[in-house]
Amino acid sequence: MVNKHRPLSPADYVPADLVQPSVALAVSGEAAQLNSTTAAAAEQMFAAAAQDGVTMTLASGYRSYGTQVATYNGYVAARGQAEADTASARPGFSEHQTGWAFDIGDGGGACGFQPCFAEQPAAVWAKANGHRFGFVVRYPWMLHEITGYYYESWHLRFIGVEAATDMSAKGIATLEEYFGLEAAPGYL
């Protein structure tokens, strides 16, 4: 469980079982990797989406501590720290570093990583069906005061089929609420 109150420990943690899933890739290198459990679940989900006629690509998976340092520092240099903190996790605080999370795309549409992605078939399908494969949309609409992030319709987190299905059935939208953890709107 990683959020703005709960960094990875150690900060430069590396999953021991990173693999490249057999799915449509929109990236290469480390970003095309996930931990082995998440990779297997992603393969099932992408295949099910394809059977429903929905194109889904892996747009960004694992991100190492070193990559996050470069990404975050780039935002800070361009926009200052306050704006950087709304756009990018600080190093050691990104769910992408766990191997349990990834971003989806839809194969080249103009809405990749944009608000309008929420209306694209891949996001609509993932929101409705992700729980069947153990995934939740980690940063839902208008719950940034709990999660610390504005809506990211493309960012999925694996928590297992049982928990994801339970969350869906109970209508609980965030992991903070589901696990009874404090809201984490910003860094401490």
Cβ–Cβ < 8 Å for 101, 31:
no
- Report, in Å, the least distance between residue 187 CB and Zn ion: 18
User: In this complex, which beta carbon is closest to Zn ion, that of residue 70 or of residue 170?
Assistant: 70
Is the Cβ of residue 27 or residue 172 nearer to Zn ion in the bound state?
A: 27
- Minimum gap (Å) between residue 98 Cβ and Zn ion: 11
User: What is the smallest separation between the CB atom of 152 and Zn ion, expressed in angstroms?
Assistant: 6
Residues that bind Zn ion (CB under 5 A): 103, 155
Closer residue to Zn ion, CB minimum distance, 162 or 187: 187
Nearest to Zn ion of 4, 155 (CB atom): 155
In whole angstroms, the minimum distance from the beta carbon of 42 to Zn ion comes to 13
Q: What's the per-residue H, E or C state across the chain?
A: CCECCECCCCCCCCCCCEECCCCCECCCHHHHCEEHHHHHHHHHHHHHHHHCCCCCEEEECCCCHHHHHHHHHHHHHHHCHHHHHHHCCCCCCCHHHHCCEEEEECCCCCCCCCHHHHHCHHHHHHHHHHHHHCEEEEECCCCHHHHCCCCEEEEEEECCHHHHHHHHHHCCCCHHHHCCCCCCCCCC
Minimum gap (Å) between residue 139 Cβ and Zn ion: 8
Nearer to Zn ion, 35 or 169 (CB): 35
Residue of minimal Cβ distance to Zn ion: 155
